C-alpha cells in the first residue's frame, strides 16, 4: 500500500526493528533478572524459607548479574527458535486444514445450521493444533525454568553447568517426567480452551442480542478468562519449579498420612495405657489404704485385748494377795 502511494517501506521496517531491539535489550538487562528473582522467591517458598521483597532483585547483585545476562541471551535465542518453529507449524496447519475446511463447507451447506457445525469443527481443530504446538513450546519453557532455577540454587555454578542441570531436571531417571509433562500439557489445554474457543462461543451466542448487552457480556467473559488463565499459568510455573527442586521425586503425602495414622494410634494406645496405669495405681493405693486400716484395727483390738488381759491379771493378783493376807490373819488368831 505504501509502495503504491509512492512512500518508502523502509521506515516502518526500521522502526519495527528498532522497537524489537529495545524490547530485547530490556528483556536481557531487566526482564530476565526480575524473572530470575521471582523464580528465586518461589524456590525459597517451596523450601519453606523466609521470602523477602529483596529476593526479586537477586540477580542484580554483584557477581550474579553477568551470569544472568548470559542466561538471558540464551533464553532470547531459544524464544526466537520456538517462534520460528511455531510459524512453520502454523503454515503446515493451514496447508493441511484449508482443503478440509473447504470440503466441509460444501458438504454441510445443506444442513439446517451449517454455521454452528462449522464453528464447532473449527474449535476442535484449533484445540488439536494448539495441543500439538504446546508440546514444543512447553518443552522449551520447562528447560528454561529448569536452568533458571538451577542458577538460583547455586549462583556460583558456571553457565554451562546450569544448562546441564536444566537437562538433568528433564532426564532425572525417576520415571515421573512423562506424567508430569502430560499434566502440564493438559493444564495448558484447559487454558487454551478458556482463551479462544470459549470466548468465540460467547461471541457467537451473543450475536442475536443487543449490542450493548453483548459487549458487556463479552468484556466480562474476557476478564474472567484472563484471571483464570493467569491462575493456571501460575500453577504451571510453580509446579515446574517444584518438580525441579524435588528432582522428580514422587509425592509422599500417602506415606505421611500413614505415618500420622500410626503416630495417632500410638498416642491413643499410650493414653489408654496411662489411663490403665493410673487406674491400677489408684486400685493399689486403695488396697494399701484398706490394708493400713485393717492393720490399725488389728492393732487397736490387740491393744484392747492386752489391756483387758493386764487388768484381769491385776485383779487376780489382788485377789491372791487378799486371800493370803486373810489366811495369815486367821493363822495368827489361832
Q: Which of 222, 251, 280 is the last residue of a domain?
A: 251
Domain of residue 108 covers 10-251
245 and 279 belong to one structural domain: no
- Residue 58 is assigned to a structural domain of this protein: yes
Q: Which of 232, 251, 270 is the last residue of a domain?
A: 251
193 and 284 belong to one structural domain: no
The residues, any chain, with a CB within 8 Å of residue 46's CB and separated by 6 or more, are 241, 242, 245
Please give the pLDDT value at position 297: 60
DSSP state of 110: T
- Residue 116 is assigned to a structural domain of this protein: yes
Please give the pLDDT value at position 290: 58
178 and 265 belong to one structural domain: no
Please give the pLDDT value at position 25: 95
Please give the pLDDT value at position 200: 79
The residues, any chain, with a CB within 8 Å of residue 186's CB and separated by 6 or more, are none
228 and 116 belong to one structural domain: yes
Q: Which long-range contacts (CB under 8 A, 24 or more apart) does 145-148 make?
A: 145/39, 145/237, 145/240, 145/241, 145/244, 146/170, 146/240, 146/244, 147/71, 148/35, 148/36, 148/39, 148/71, 148/75
Please give the pLDDT value at position 272: 45
Please give the pLDDT value at position 334: 43
109 and 148 belong to one structural domain: yes
How does pLDDT run across 64-75, given as a tens digit for each residue?
899 999 999 999
Q: What is the mean pLDDT of residues 220-233?
A: 92
108: pLDDT confidence band, cut at 50, 70 and 90? confident
Q: Which of 251, 274, 297 is the last residue of a domain?
A: 251
264 and 210 belong to one structural domain: no
221 and 262 belong to one structural domain: no
- Residue 325 is assigned to a structural domain of this protein: yes
Average pLDDT over the chain reads 79
- Residue 4 is assigned to a structural domain of this protein: no
243 and 305 belong to one structural domain: no
Q: What is the mean pLDDT of residues 177-188?
A: 93
213: pLDDT confidence band, cut at 50, 70 and 90? confident
91 and 121 belong to one structural domain: yes
- Residue 65 is assigned to a structural domain of this protein: yes
- Residue 157 is assigned to a structural domain of this protein: yes
- Residue 2 is assigned to a structural domain of this protein: no
93 and 228 belong to one structural domain: yes
283 and 326 belong to one structural domain: yes
59 and 124 belong to one structural domain: yes
- Residue 195 is assigned to a structural domain of this protein: yes
Tally of domains in the chain: 2
Amino acid at each position: 500500500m505504501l509502495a503504491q502511494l509512492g512512500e518508502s517501506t523502509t521506515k516502518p521496517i526500521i522502526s519495527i526493528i528498532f522497537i524489537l531491539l529495545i524490547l530485547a535489550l530490556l528483556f536481557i538487562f531487566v526482564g530476565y533478572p526480575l524473572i530470575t528473582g521471582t523464580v528465586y522467591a518461589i524456590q525459597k517458598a517451596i523450601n519453606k524459607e523466609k521470602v523477602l521483597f529483596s529476593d526479586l532483585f537477586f540477580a542484580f547483585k554483584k557477581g550474579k548479574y553477568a551470569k544472568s545476562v548470559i542466561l538471558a541471551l540464551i533464553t532470547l535465542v531459544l524464544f526466537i527458535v520456538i517462534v520460528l518453529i511455531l510459524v512453520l507449524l502454523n503454515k503446515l496447519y493451514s496447508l493441511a486444514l484449508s482443503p478440509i475446511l473447504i470440503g466441509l463447507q460444501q458438504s454441510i451447506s445443506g444442513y439446517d445450521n451449517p454455521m454452528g457445525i462449522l464453528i464447532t469443527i473449527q474449535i476442535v481443530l484449533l484445540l488439536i493444533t494448539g495441543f500439538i504446538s504446546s508440546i514444543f513450546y512447553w518443552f522449551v519453557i520447562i528447560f528454561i525454568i529448569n536452568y533458571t532455577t538451577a542458577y538460583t540454587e547455586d549462583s556460583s555454578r558456571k553457565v554451562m553447568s546450569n544448562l546441564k542441570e536444566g537437562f538433568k531436571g528433564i532426564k532425572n531417571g525417576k520415571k515421573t517426567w512423562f506424567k508430569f509433562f502430560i499434566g502440564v500439557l493438559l493444564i495448558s489445554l484447559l487454558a487454551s480452551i478458556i482463551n479462544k474457543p470459549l470466548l468465540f462461543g460467547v461471541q457467537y451466542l451473543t450475536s442475536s442480542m443487543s449490542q450493548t448487552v453483548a459487549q458487556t457480556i463479552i468484556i466480562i467473559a474476557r476478564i474472567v478468562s484472563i484471571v483464570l488463565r493467569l491462575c493456571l499459568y501460575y500453577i504451571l510455573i510453580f509446579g515446574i519449579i517444584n518438580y525441579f527442586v524435588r528432582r522428580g521425586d514422587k509425592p509422599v503425602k500417602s506415606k505421611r498420612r500413614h505415618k500420622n495414622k500410626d503416630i495417632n494410634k500410638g498416642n491413643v494406645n499410650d493414653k489408654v495405657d496411662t489411663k490403665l496405669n493410673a487406674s491400677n495405681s489408684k486400685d493399689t493405693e486403695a488396697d494399701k489404704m484398706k490394708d493400713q486400716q485393717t492393720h490399725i484395727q488389728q492393732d487397736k483390738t490387740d491393744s484392747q485385748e492386752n489391756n483387758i488381759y493386764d487388768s484381769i491379771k491385776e485383779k487376780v493378783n489382788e485377789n491372791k494377795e487378799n486371800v493370803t493376807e486373810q489366811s495369815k490373819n486367821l493363822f495368827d488368831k489361832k
